[in-house]
Amino acid sequence: MSNVPPDLQYTKTHEWVRTLPDGTVEIGITDHAQHALGDLVFVEVPEAGRAVALGEPCAVVESVKAASDVYSPVAGEITLGNPLLAGEPEAVNNDPYGKGWLMRLHPTKGAASADLMPADKYQTLLQTEGG
């Protein structure tokens, strides 16, 4: 059911991570997560320059009924929060892996990262969860 692009990495808490050509990473929430949250009406993304630790809450996505923290799966320094989402939070619903990305960060060299999994393993996790 859920769209799980093969070229991304995933966390068990339903974030995706994309490594960009310049070595920075782009982070968002998965199609499964946006569907579970429902219509998003407010997204708060971190400001550029902020240092985030592994597992630190650094963004908030809110649907009509529910608020959810997004925890950084990678330690590093934020290079950009997606400026589109202030006026168009529904981009996360409509295009979670594209226009709906949340933030980009420059990873700290040598820092530990969360257990990231490839697409097939994330797909299996979703099936286990009944999603």
Partner 1 sequence: MVSLYFRATHRRGAARNGRQISQVTGQKGGTRTSSAAFCFGGPVGRRTPLFELHQELGARIVDFGGWDMPVQYASQIGEHHAVRRAAGIFDVSHMCAVDLKGLRVRQFLQHLLANDVAKLKVPGKALYSCMLNEAGGVLDDLIVYFLNESAFRLVVNAGTRDKDLAWIRSIGQQFDVQATERTDLAILAIQGPEARAKTAALLSASGANAAMALGPFFGRDIDGWFVARTGYTGEDGFEVMLPASDAVRVWRELNAAGVVSCGLGARDTLRLEAGMNLYGNDMDETTHPFESGLAWTVAMQPGERRFIGREALEKVLANTAAPPRQLVGLVLEDRGVLRSHQKVVPAGETTSGTFSPTLERSIALARVPAGAVQQVQVDIRGKLLNARVVKPPFVRFGKAMI
Residues lying near partner 1 in the complex (CB under 8 A) are found at 12-15, 29, 32-33, 36-39, 41-42, 44, 57, 60-71, 86, 129-131
- The tally of CA atoms less than 13 A away on the side-chain side of residue 44 is 10
- In the bound complex, what is the minimum distance in angstroms from residue 122's beta carbon to partner 1? 13
Closest by CA to 76, choosing from 45, 47, 107, 111, is 107
Buried b (16+ CB within 10 A) or exposed e, 63-86: beeeebebbbbbbbebbbbbeebe
Closest distance between partner 1 and the C-beta of residue 58, in Å? 11
Cβ closest to partner 1, residue 44 vs residue 77: 44
Closest of 42, 56, 107 to residue 78, by C-alpha = 107
C-alpha 25, offset from chain centre? 10
Q: Which of residues 68 and 113 has its CB atom nearest to partner 1 in the complex?
A: 68
CB of 110 to partner 1, least distance (A): 25
User: Which one, 68 or 82, has the nearer CB to partner 1?
Assistant: 68
Nearer to partner 1, 88 or 110 (CB): 88
Tokens of 71: 């925890």
Q: Nearest distance from residue 21's CB to partner 1, in Å?
A: 26
